[in-house]
Amino acid sequence: MGTAPKEATAHTRAANAPVELGFDPADFDRASRGLVAQIPDGRIETPYGVVWDMSRYDFIERDSTNPDTVNPSLWRQAQLNGIHGLFEVAPGIWQARGYDISNITFIAGETGWIIVDPLTVEPCAKACLDLANATLGERPVTAVIYTHSHTDHFGGVRGVTTHDDVDAGRCRIIAPVGFMRETIGENVIAGYAMIRRAMYQFGPLLPAGPRTHVDCGLGKAIPFWPPGLIAPSEEITETGTELVVDGVRIVFQLTPEAEAPAEMNFFFPDHGWLCTAENCTHNMHNLVPIRGALVRDSLKWSKYCGELLELFGDRIELMFASHHWPRWGNADVVQYLTLQRDLYRWVHDQTMRLANHGYNATEIAEMLTMPPEFRAEAHTVGYYGHLAHNIKAVYQRYLSWYDGNPANLWKLPPVDAGRRYVEAIGGVDALLASARRSFDAGDYRWVVELLNHLVFADPTNTEARELQADAFEQIGYQCESATFRNAYLMGAQELRNGCLPRTPAGRHGYLDAMTPEQLFDTLAVKLNADAVGGLSVRINFTFTDLGEQWVLGLANRALHAVPGRHDPAAEVTITTTKPVLYKVIEGGVPFADAIAAAIADGTVVAQGDVAAAERIFGHLDTFLSNFPLVEP
């Protein structure tokens, strides 16, 4: 099979022809303003390998026009996201940008650094702190603010502070209410699937290049390193809360269920600085990401932007966020926030207007196009989100995935449908011939729908896989949304070259933050119900590290967990710590061996019939990474 990406077709060349976009050229000044230092080549290394390397993207030159394999508007965003360095935003506030998908912000407090969002991973956060200390003078980190519950805003915290400093009160960690619950809750039960789907959203397995990866829309790329977490020492529970953090006054606005389930904007009243977290960045964001997540509330999102204007509008001198570049000047920021407010409201209201006229999500996604108000400014363009996808998210939030037509209510799964479609169309050759005609006509969206049936009916059909890959690729080349581009190009890459090997997938990075309830919920979705018919058991747990008691029970092929007590009739009582239990479950050895070893080394004390616990722990599935997405 051909393995290399192909050139743009005539249709794609025409679609991607360089155009005058008419976007504000001042974005390049904003993204470059105040540069004080850079990490050479934007390269961050550890003894274990390269974590970040901006030089991979040197082909995206500042003043170049787009190659025919990249959408011209996305190319501009990729140029902007390629600007990296430590920048002075205003006296007393600096940002390091372009060293992770997100930004890290340094604010000079009375005695040390107040850090907003310590990036995704420790090496990137540490490299940026080192750069700030070396350039601006060494300061201790006295506070960290997590703007929200997404990994790229806390995962690097161990690069800027330590558990000890937080426990000793030398460093405050401030987060929005519900941060810990939502950090884990959003992706723990679906985590294994979400990580795999995220590979398509961000494209980390695509090489950098004009025919492959150019950007993520929200930032350049995601770094290669496991994230970490230190729990917040305090939570903001109310809009209007004012804190003095290392001598700096900050007023908070909570924005739950907008960009993240736990998130907050905040304002510095003595300076006129506004941090919009990830609620307002320089693109139209996702109302549901293509990696999958709980759908977001675009109505609330818009109203928070409005509330922000009411609370602070007349006092804002500059705004900064945890992605992209800042903006300066009251009039400019107010105009920006107003358009952001109206964007999320427009998507919401117009989707529901048409839904109430009886159109379904797929139809609405084709009926609505971005009006000129939102096409006039790059910060409302879907480089990360995508209008069609966001419309479906709004519809889904109110009306579910189902469009109301019973023909779509109970569909055959892809392989069964695929075989029947291939037959109905007149066989493999007829389908391929039709697909090829449509490909030649540039009707790529139809090609991928048609060929999907054949690939699922017969994934060994090389001609079908190659043509499907070619069609994915041309769509990807034309996409303005980086996440859509990455998804299509990943699909093409895997059809041509196959997936990476499937290995047991873990969620180790989140263990520290998981509650026993979340741990048991994660465990429960691994239970192989076919294997536990007729079995029941009750297991008491005492977690000595948490001071908690739980009962975990199996009945009717399902688990249930009860906090706060033991069951006197339980078959076994296990006394241990949460990490040991996790290791016993996820350690990759049979439960009987793991529990025996833990009992032997004293990390588990069991009273009663230990073997009875096998009824649960002996019947847990192992999830594998790299499951197929574009083939059965």
Q: Which residues of the chain form contacts with Zn ion (CB under 5 A)?
A: 102, 152, 278
CB-nearer residue toward Zn ion: 102 or 279: 102
Provide the minimum distance between the beta carbon of 552 and Zn ion in the complex, in angstroms, as a whole number: 35
CB-nearer residue toward Zn ion: 153 or 538: 153
If you ran DSSP here, which 8-state letter would residue 189 be given? T
Provide the minimum distance between the beta carbon of 147 and Zn ion in the complex, in angstroms, as a whole number: 8
Q: How many C-beta neighbours within 10 Å does residue 314 have?
A: 10
CB-nearer residue toward Zn ion: 285 or 389: 285
Provide the minimum distance between the beta carbon of 229 and Zn ion in the complex, in angstroms, as a whole number: 15
> Which helix (H) or strand (E) is 11 found in, with range?
helix 10-15
CB-nearer residue toward Zn ion: 322 or 493: 322
CB-nearer residue toward Zn ion: 51 or 216: 216
Rounded CA gap, 459 and 455, in Å? 5
262 close to 250: Cβ distance less than 8 angstroms = no
| Nearest-CB residue for Zn ion | 152
Q: Which residues contact 74 (CB under 8 A, 6 or more apart)?
A: 66, 214, 215, 217, 383, 479, 480, 481, 482, 485
Q: Which residues contact 157 (CB under 8 A, 6 or more apart)?
A: 118, 122, 125, 144, 146, 173, 228, 229, 230
Provide the minimum distance between the beta carbon of 322 and Zn ion in the complex, in angstroms, as a whole number: 6
CB-nearer residue toward Zn ion: 151 or 549: 151
Tokens of 312: 């602070």
Rounded CA gap, 391 and 381, in Å? 14
CB-nearer residue toward Zn ion: 278 or 586: 278
CB-count exposure of residue 607 (10 Å: 0-12, 13-18, 19+): exposed
> Which helix (H) or strand (E) is 562 found in, with range?
strand 558-563
CB-nearer residue toward Zn ion: 152 or 182: 152
Provide the minimum distance between the beta carbon of 381 and Zn ion in the complex, in angstroms, as a whole number: 18
Provide the minimum distance between the beta carbon of 117 and Zn ion in the complex, in angstroms, as a whole number: 8
Provide the minimum distance between the beta carbon of 216 and Zn ion in the complex, in angstroms, as a whole number: 10
Single out the residue of 139, 114, 339 nearest to residue 244, CA to CA.
114
List phi, psi (to 5°) of 232: -60, 150
Q: Which residues contact 299 (CB under 8 A, 6 or more apart)?
A: 344, 345, 348
Provide the minimum distance between the beta carbon of 273 and Zn ion in the complex, in angstroms, as a whole number: 19
Provide the minimum distance between the beta carbon of 41 and Zn ion in the complex, in angstroms, as a whole number: 24
Rounded CA gap, 63 and 572, in Å? 69
Give the 3-state secondary structure of residue 321.
coil
Provide the minimum distance between the beta carbon of 148 and Zn ion in the complex, in angstroms, as a whole number: 8
CB-nearer residue toward Zn ion: 152 or 235: 152
Rounded CA gap, 355 and 397, in Å? 12
CB-nearer residue toward Zn ion: 259 or 470: 259
Give the 3-state secondary structure of residue 331.
helix
Single out the residue of 463, 455, 473, 490 nearest to residue 632, CA to CA.
455
